[in-house]
Structure 1
Amino acid sequence: MTDDPEYSRPEAPFNALPPMVIAIALVLGGIEVVFQIGALGLIGGPDAVGWRIGAMETYGFFDTVFEAMRAQGSWPFEHLRRFFTYAFVHYSITHALMVMVFILALGKMVGETFGNLAVLVIFIVSTLAGSLAFGLILNAATPLLGAYPAAYGFIGAYTFILWLGLGQMQENRMRAFTLIGFLMGLQLLYGLLFGGSPDWVADLAGFVAGFGTAALLVPGAFGRILMRLRQR
């Protein structure tokens, strides 16, 4: 045995991730695993094949349901929860895996910078922002599903970290928005070629919410924002 750091055991990948990021990924992945093994008939019997569709109908965010609640002025909990629960049900395993990759990669930076509580706050706020934008802006027949708005919230928080760092180095802060610009461009191109869904509105709202939430999490940031607004 030697104390030489060159011979120290490498750190496990999951140990390097903030616990809240791991927890969110495990919940999303665990739900998807249940859907997959249910579809294979390994648990739940014949009804398990339809678990995903049932979850979509019960927990997905539907614009028609949102508009009905607004028109009637009634907000029952079974539908209010849809503002958040849609993030835990995905269309497919590929849909879920892509979301988890974003959350694990960008959540690590956000968690290391702002802490575990901030990871949870950004996830919740971005999820809510996504469903609100989807319901208020669009008139969509298909439901909003999956944690992409939350993943984009982490992209927003990561963008803020870059924006802050570039500003301190006296460099062009617009470079911080390269990632979101690239992703939105890809979505636009995909939509033009293959007729994509309007979910990008929810994703963009999640990004804005993540960026704004991260800004408010920086000590003294709110005061600096007010000062800049007054100067303008």
Structure 2
Amino acid sequence: MEDPDFHPPVNPMPATVTLLFLALAGIEVVLSLAEAGIIGGPAAVGWRLALIRDFGFSGDVFDWMVANMQFPLRDLSRVVSYSFIHLGFTHAIFACVLLLALGKMVAEAMGQVAFLAIFFVSGIFGAVVYALVLDDPVWLVGAYPSVYGLIGGYSFVMWRKLAGQGEQQYRAFSLIAVLMGLQLIWGVFFDAGTQWVAELLGFACGFALSFVFAPGEWGRLRERIRHR
């Protein structure tokens, strides 16, 4: 009689990915229930707008901090906190799905510390450069710049894999090309805004960070330096 196999058919979700998902989803569940009138009473309808005001990222606020060289912790923390607030249930659910799928791939390929670094640094980089480059008064909210950073990490993994197999590496960028194409099509018919700039910056940051965090990259870098 064979011993039963207690190993799961697929690898479990990394703990850091699960915790981030629960944070994003938990906030959205509370806000959605409040807007539906299930919790919080009549005043709860304004919770989402209050969170955006208190924790969303404002380019105008950031410009004021830079111009005056004053960086209050409450406003400085917006470069991180904006990623945890979304405009609505649909806005949040797509971010959560991408986080689970891409976060699992990146964490398994590079480790959970790398996953966290790519997620948060990409979100911060996307917001800061977005504020410096554009003069858009619209507030930035949502995890998409951070998630696009994970797309950058995923693209790097595929880029290296395709190189090892001797295949065309441009295929590694198929996902970001499709997403940017959809953004372009959406912008033709609707006002898509400028958040895509922060998302594209997040992607570039995630891809660049992968040169630091991907296994074996430091060794490759040392070899290149040694041979120059």
Q: What's the TM-score, normalizing by structure 2?
A: 0.92
- Unmatched segments (≥5 aa) in structure 1: none
Q: Give SS of 1:87's match.
A: helix
1:1-232 counterparts in 2 under 5 A? 3=3, 11=9, 16-222=12-218, 224-225=220-221
**DSSP 3-state at the match of 2:142:** coil
Query: After the TM superposition, which parts of structure 1 deviate over 6 Å for at least 4 consecutive aligned residues?
Result: 229-232
2:215 & 2:92 partners in 1: Cα distance? 34
Q: By how many angstroms is 1:190 displaced?
A: 0.8
Per-residue CA deviation, residues 116-157 of structure 1 (Å, 9 max, x unaligned), is: 212111111111011112101111121010000111011100
Q: 1:9 to 1:115 in 2, by over 3 A?
A: closer
Count of aligned positions: 228
CA contact (8 A) 1:63 1:141 kept: yes
What TM-score results when the alignment is normalised by the length of structure 1? 0.90
What is the alpha-carbon distance in structure 1 between the residues aligned to residue 8 and residue 153 of structure 2? 28
Alpha-carbon distance change, 195 to 40 in structure 1, aligned in 2, over 3 angstroms: closer
- The Cα RMSD (Å) is 2.2
Q: Deviations over 1:34-75 (max 9, x none)?
A: 101222233323221100000011111111111111111111
Taking the aligned partners of 2:39 and 2:218, their CA distance within structure 1 comes to 51
Give the secondary structure class of the aligned counterpart of 2:57: coil
Displacement, 1:78? 1.2
